[in-house]
Amino acid sequence: MVLTLIGCVNYSLSLGYGLTFLLGGVWVISAAQALRTVRGVRVGPPVPESAPALAGQPLSFRVPLGREGHSAAPGGALRLRVRARQGEQTHTLSVAALASHPDGGLTLTLLDPRRGALNLEGWRLSGLDPLGLWSADLPLTAETGPGELRLWVAPAPEAQAPAPPTLFAAGHAETGRRAAGQDDLAGLRPYQAGDAPRLVSWRHAARTGALLTREYDAPAGQAPALDWAATTGLQGPEARLSRLCAWVLAARAQGDAFSFSLPGTALAAAAGEAQVAAALGALAAFGTPPAVPAPPPARRSLFSPTSRETLPAGPLRFSLLALAVALLPGVLRQPVWLTALLAAGLGYAALRAGQNQGAAPRGTRRLPALPAAALALVAVLGALGLNAAYGTLLGQDAGTALLGLLIVLKAAETHTRRDARLLSLLGLFLTSTHFFHDQGPLTALHALLATAALLAALGGWTLEDGEDHAADDAPAPTTGLRRAGQLMLLAAPLAALLFALFPRPDGPLWQLPIQQGAQTGLADSISAGEFSNLAQSREVAFRADFTGTVPAPEERYWRGPVYELYDGLRWTQLRAFFNPTPVQVFGPTRSYSVTLEPSGKPWLLALDVPVTQPRGTYFTSAFQAAAYPPPTRRTRYTFTQQAARLGLNEDERRLNLNLQLPPGQNPRAVALAQEWRSLAPAQRVQAGLDVFRSGFSYSLTPPTLPEQNRIDAFLYSSRVGFCEHFASAFTFLMRAAGVPARIVGGYQGGEINPDGGYLTVRQQDAHAWAEVWLAGQGWVRVDPTAVVAPARIRADLGTALTQPQATAARPPGTLARALLRVDALQNSWNTWVAGYDGTQQRTLLARLGVQGVGSAPYLLALAALAGLALLPGLLLARRAARPRDPLARSLHDLGARLGLPQHPGETPTAYAARAGAQFPGLAAELRAVAAEYNRLRYGRAGADPAGVRALRARVRQVRRPR
């Protein structure tokens, strides 16, 4: 999220902001849901269900669970993950979904305990959110003290252990000898601390005041002597402990008394569970338990694959499918061979998924694992191919294509759960890179679908495959997608808030070259045919929104590059520096905003002449609006336009430059123009326009002109051309007549969208016209194309080609109107979503009465609105805490209304009695509710819908006494 946010700030990726904030909202909502899962949950000390605890044998515990303020089964599923730390390793014991447990407990099983003290304080129950992205820890607690969370594990008993040696001990066989026992009173002895009170002679104590303890004996017999010295023939202390453990368990099974001795521990001969527990405890605590040997490090080689973990096939294939969805837009712009390579890599990973889970079916050949060297070779060859295709690896096209290739290679060598989770994170990052190429509604829709799939895949690696089937009937992928969609929907309000109010800088953090693909647009130089090629493209160049009335068609000249140098073939821009001359403005102002599509060019398109300079832009000495660095994304600029006179005091050097012509070129045109030198400059302009008033045709496919004397060939031979032909010939004539002149490129016209009230200017509206400099007037626009084909200026290109003298465009047809509606939606999207920037944000804050980003009102408003944005998620989580079963939900609601929750395992009748004792005035009603519940739950008729509704209505009538 931090990485993508930095990229969005630097490259002004508005949709990237939205995706980042959506993930941030999911992050917050899932954390809140995980915390709510464990809120109020009480975890009691684990109770072993089997005794004794032996090393190497499964050990089951019962963990009591309760919930303060809720019933034991708080609606839906309480997902808990149990972790135990042993040494330096953390083991996940199990993942359980608790839906409805009447006893309010959880059974955990430790599969392979080690000898020694099992410290349960290291165990944690972690509550999970619906996707398992967050966990909130619940430590196990003891009610009496820390010792309750420690359990001793005895050594594993030796198999087929020999019989132990014997000694004389208490028994039933009469041998004439006596030994300690419980049969007959043997005498009194002074009281010792720890003696049982029942053995104290209280009559003697009352008479003498001294405490004496009674001793008993029994006839002595044979009993096992479990002595450490009897195991000297075994190697190692663990083997000796195992034999002693086997002897203790054998004596326990026979019910015999036995004596027991270890270095530092001696137990007299006795029988019973206390004797067995003491002996096993001494065995468990003896010495230092052996450490678990660490597995030898795997020998890794670049030429031999390694497999460290067996991954379940279902989650892995779903992760690969989600990754394929994230890669999908690249198919439209990357080389075909790369698409085939990516598909092969994902297919290979999908086929190999789950092969290690069992034997392959008969007749099926296992796919070999690729060594790291092979994957590295594919990466190098792919990089070389992309460098050959794009000429670099640093541009947006080559860079994103290379990223996709590397991610697929990572998928092909995925062999751990960490790798599988990483695929989802890489897929999310890859999804954000598509915004470099497009930020339209379809790209946004794809980003939502890919994000949902990747989040669901990520959750599949935290929640065990299929563990939710107890609570959900849907398959795991469908369940994951549904939960991811719910989380994204809950996160949407917070994402929208941050999208609107998060600070947006006006400039990038740093500059890096971003390679642009071939895009349609105005060129740095023009010659015959340049603009006619653009006229065949209906791609949108820009859209313009006007605050007032839209200017008339003949006023819609969108100024772009200015071409002042001519070599006989091409007109190019002037790179020399001249001091800008002042602009004399007059008349009313007109405000409008231009949403410019990316072209990779620095110039901005504006009506003659802007009187305000948007932030990050400048005006050249040729009165051309430009931006540096050139905008590489869809950009919105706001201009204020006013009628003006340009260059009244133009530099003489520039005027002389705009009189220059290549020597020896076009003698007939030069001779014609020199005839006008005796006329006033304005009359020379009219004479030049009169040349085009008859005999010329407007066409997209004019004949090819020769490289030498092409102006003469056009004026006296072909007489068919497009706007650049007419502008070039007219400018040549003016210069030859002694009038400074140049060509201005840009766009003319635009289509008014009736649904949005804005102008759509397309590439086919590209146009070239001339400017002449007249004393007292400055640079004056002259368009010879308007003389040949007035419809080009007053109507549109299509009308100009068929009816050059028309004065209005033909009304749009049904299909054209439908396309205009779609374009209106696209324009709204560009304005308020894809083109939302710092300027619009400041305008929004001003309307809200907030001074600016970072101010105290801004921070207070952001905090308050963020709380409101999170409210739907919290309310839904609260609602989800209610049981799904309608009858259980009625009892849950009853406990909530009374503020007296039902205890774990408490029956409705018992709960009604307890609640009635606390609220005597409600006792009769509570008994009736319990009886109705029992009838619906356990009666032969079952829970009919009418009865359930009646029970709910009855519960709603219960009011807690004040």
CATH number, domain with residue 119: 2.60.40
> Residue 765 catalytic?
no
Does a structural domain hold residue 348?
yes
* Residue type at position 847: R
Final residue before a domain boundary, out of 466, 501, 536: 501
Same structural domain, 646 and 563: yes
CA distances from 703 to 486, 567, 691, 698 (A): 63, 21, 20, 12
3-state secondary structure 428-454: HHHHHHHHHCCCCHHHHHHHHHHHHHH
Furthest-apart CA atoms within the chain: distance in Å: 158
Host domain of residue 405:
308-358+367-501
pLDDT number for residue 349? 92
- Concatenating the DSSP letter of every residue in 377-438 gives HHHHHHHHHHHHHHS-SSSHHHHHHHHHHHHHHHHHT--SHHHHHHHHHHHHHHHHHGGGT-
CA distances from 719 to 693, 711, 716, 789, 797 (A): 11, 10, 7, 13, 19
Q: CA torsion 533→535→539→543, rounded to 10°? A: 130
How many domains does the chain fold into?
5
* CA 270 and chain centroid, separation: 66
Same structural domain, 808 and 945: no
Same structural domain, 258 and 318: no
Does a structural domain hold residue 873?
no
564 close to 706: Cβ distance less than 8 angstroms: no
Strand partners, 774: 778
Q: What element of type H or E holds 721?
A: strand 720-721
Same structural domain, 46 and 76: yes
SS3 546: strand
Same structural domain, 240 and 91: no
> Residue 8 catalytic?
no
Does a structural domain hold residue 941?
yes
Contacts 24+ apart (CB under 8 A), 839-847: 839/506, 839/615, 839/636, 839/638, 840/636, 841/500, 841/501, 841/503, 841/504, 844/500, 845/501
SS3 118: strand
> Residue 767 catalytic?
yes
Same structural domain, 662 and 591: yes
Final residue before a domain boundary, out of 814, 842, 857: 814
Final residue before a domain boundary, out of 814, 834, 866: 814
Q: Look at residues 46, 80, 83 and name the one whose alpha carbon lies nearest to residue 62.
A: 46
CA distances from 586 to 144, 562, 644, 810 (A): 91, 23, 6, 34
Catalytic residue selected from 415, 725, 767, 892: 767
Same structural domain, 344 and 466: yes
What residues contact 778, with CB distance under 8 A and at least 6 apart? 584, 645, 646, 647, 648, 650
Does a structural domain hold residue 831?
no
Same structural domain, 685 and 584: yes
Where does 790-922 have alpha helices with state H? 791-794, 797-802, 814-829, 838-847, 856-880, 886-898, 908-918
Q: Look at residues 96, 71, 70, 101 and name the one whose alpha carbon lies nearest to residue 82.
A: 96
Strand partners, 266: 261
Does a structural domain hold residue 389?
yes
pLDDT number for residue 308? 56
- Both tokens of 430, joined, read 């890859």
Same structural domain, 489 and 532: no
Q: What element of type H or E holds 884?
A: none
327 phi, psi to nearest 5 deg:
-80, -10
316 close to 353: Cβ distance less than 8 angstroms: yes
pLDDT number for residue 559? 93
Does a structural domain hold residue 508?
no
Same structural domain, 102 and 180: no
Same structural domain, 651 and 740: yes
pLDDT number for residue 808? 78
Q: Is 316 exposed, middle or buried (0-12, 13-18, 19+ CB in 10 A)?
A: buried
Q: What is the DSSP letter of 54?
A: B
pLDDT number for residue 73? 38
Q: What is the DSSP letter of 168?
A: E
- Both tokens of 68, joined, read 């303060």
* CA 220 and chain centroid, separation: 78
Cα(427)–Cα(421) distance, rounded to whole angstroms? 10
Does a structural domain hold residue 875?
no
Q: What is the mean pLDDT of each run of 10 residues along the chain (962 residues)?
A: 88 92 92 78 74 85 64 48 52 41 62 81 75 78 57 90 72 49 69 76 82 70 81 88 93 87 88 89 85 56 56 89 95 93 94 63 64 91 93 87 95 90 94 91 96 93 51 61 91 91 80 51 79 78 91 93 94 85 86 87 86 83 86 83 90 94 95 96 96 92 90 94 94 97 94 89 93 95 95 86 81 84 88 85 85 82 83 66 74 83 79 90 90 86 83 88 80
Cα(959)–Cα(951) distance, rounded to whole angstroms? 15
Q: What element of type H or E holds 87?
A: none
Catalytic residue selected from 8, 70, 723, 765: 723
What residues contact 227, with CB distance under 8 A and at least 6 apart? 165, 259, 260, 261
106 phi, psi to nearest 5 deg:
-135, 130
Omega prior to 52 cis, within 30 of 0: yes
- Concatenating the DSSP letter of every residue in 841-867 gives HHHHHHHTT---TTSHHHHHHHHHHHH
Does a structural domain hold residue 756?
yes
Catalytic residue selected from 227, 712, 765, 783: 783
171 close to 218: Cβ distance less than 8 angstroms: yes
Strand partners, 14: none
Same structural domain, 467 and 543: no
Cα(137)–Cα(695) distance, rounded to whole angstroms? 88
Q: What element of type H or E holds 770?
A: strand 766-774
CA distances from 16 to 326, 330, 446, 519 (A): 14, 17, 13, 23
